[in-house]
Amino acid sequence: MKILVTGGAGFLGSRLIRALLDGKGPMPRVDKVVSADLAACPVKDARVESRVGSIADPLFVAAAVDADVDVIYHLAAVLSGQSEGEFDIGMQINVDATRALLEACRHLAKPPRLIFTSSLAVFGGPMPEVVPEDLVLMPQSSYGAEKAIGELLVGEYTRKGFVDGIVCRLPTISVRPGKPNSAASSFVSGIIREPLAGVPSECPVPVDTRLWISSPDLAVKNLVRAGALDGARLGLRRTLNLPGICVTAAEMLDSLERLGGKPARALVSLTDVPRIAAIVCSWPGAFDVSRPLALGFEADQSFDSIVKQYMEGLATA
């Protein structure tokens, strides 16, 4: 099995590569993983080849797609905050480069499985408390619009038989280690990660804002499952809202206090940042995920279990 991961140096991409190589999931034995990213892949393993370049360059994209690739995970992207602030870059990386990647796949002898990581940001506007699979897309951000276009492209290239595509709409991932990033949802990790490290943090949205969340471990496990899934089980419905759990910002802060103590909770100040709230509050807080669950995808048990997973990771790092 030969796999290409665009964005293989990123937060999810590098974890995905490690999970693919450890061979515990449903994916058949992986012999080689190519990472295509602006940065070198941090995974040190003889089976990993790191190709450094920009997917904005169609020649780099074409060179990244080997003729015998079996599965492609297309993760490289400009995240929500940057897409909103830098319209042209968002369109170039999230739309034009996605099309270039699909074009590079188009003439392969065997259409590869292609997993496109989309986002719940494709939704917006009026919506029910629990979003069904067939809700109309109404993105309220450039990032959401770009992901929605990417979804349609993957669907069309799949219908034409150029790739065997599956769209995975990921929940917001928390708790993300490291530093804040350019995503509007960066605080969803920051309000746990920073106070646990004794650093002040801000919650920029109303505390009753509902968030649809997955731990990094489970998101990666679900992506591996998607790569190995029998496409016939999906029929024409190639887009999956991956399972998550619905929590409010207030419930997240309660978890922080339970597991990190009152001093940690006291480090989070409640602020109001309209630029962030306008994006994050337009996203759905809960989904009907009965179909993905029946297909074997999984959700975390609780937000406490997610915070514990993060704290255990810190202890063993």
Ligand X SMILES: NC(=O)c1ccc[n+]([C@@H]2O[C@H](COP(=O)([O-])OP(=O)(O)OC[C@H]3O[C@@H](n4cnc5c(N)ncnc54)[C@H](O)[C@@H]3O)[C@@H](O)[C@H]2O)c1
Q: Which of 3, 4, 5, 9 binds ligand X (CB under 6 A)?
A: 9
| Shortest-Cβ-distance residue relative to ligand X | 10
Instruction: Pick the closer one to ligand X by CB: 158 or 222.
Output: 222
Question: Which of 22, 36, 21, 37 shows the shortest CA–CA distance to 66?
Answer: 36
Residues 224-243 binding ligand X (CB under 6 A) are: none
Instruction: Pick the closer one to ligand X by CB: 62 or 266.
Output: 62
Instruction: Pick the closer one to ligand X by CB: 257 or 277.
Output: 277
Q: Which stretch binds ligand X (CB under 6 A): 18-26, 34-42, 199-207, 267-275?
A: 34-42
- Terminal CA-to-CA distance of the chain, rounded, Å? 30
Mask of contacts with ligand X, 172-191, x by CB under 6 A? xx------------------
Instruction: Pick the closer one to ligand X by CB: 119 or 158.
Output: 119
Residue 194 lies near ligand X (rule: CB under 6 A): no
* CB 285, min distance to ligand X, A: 15
Residue 117 lies near ligand X (rule: CB under 6 A): yes
Instruction: Pick the closer one to ligand X by CB: 4 or 79.
Output: 79
* CB 89, min distance to ligand X, A: 8
- 310 is an active site residue: no
Instruction: Quote the crossing angle between the two packed helices 249-260 and 303-316, to the nearest 10°.
Output: 50
Cα 49 from chain centre: 22
- In contact, 226 and 166? CB cutoff 8 Å: yes
The string of DSSP letters for 92-105 reads IIIIIHHHHHHHHH
Q: Which stretch binds ligand X (CB under 6 A): 35-43, 105-113, 127-135, 288-296?
A: 35-43
The string of DSSP letters for 222-270 reads HHHHHHH--GGGTTT--EEE---EEEEHHHHHHHHHHHH-HHHHHTEEE
Instruction: Pick the closer one to ligand X by CB: 10 or 260.
Output: 10
Q: Which stretch binds ligand X (CB under 6 A): 7-15, 126-134, 261-269, 280-288?
A: 7-15
- In contact, 190 and 200? CB cutoff 8 Å: no
Counting residues that bind ligand X (by CB under 6 A) gives 23
Q: Which of 5, 11, 215, 299 binds ligand X (CB under 6 A)?
A: 11
Q: Which stretch binds ligand X (CB under 6 A): 17-25, 36-44, 244-252, 279-287?
A: 36-44
DSSP 8-state secondary structure symbol assigned to residue 131? B
- In contact, 294 and 237? CB cutoff 8 Å: no
CA quadruple 165, 166, 169, 170: dihedral sign: negative
Residue 10 lies near ligand X (rule: CB under 6 A): yes
* CB 142, min distance to ligand X, A: 12
Mask of contacts with ligand X, 53-92, x by CB under 6 A? -xxx------------------xxxxx-------------
Alpha helices in 1-139 (DSSP H): 11-22, 58-64, 80-85, 87-90, 97-106
How far, in Å, CA of 241 to CA of 249, rounded? Answer: 21
CA angle 240, 138, 217 (to 5 degrees): 35
Pairing of strands 245-248, 172-173: unpaired
CA quadruple 288, 292, 295, 298: dihedral sign: negative
The residues of the shown chain that bind ligand X, judged by CB under 6 A, are: 7, 9-13, 37-39, 54-56, 75-79, 93, 117, 119, 170, 172-173
| Residues annotated as catalytic (active site), given as ranges | 143
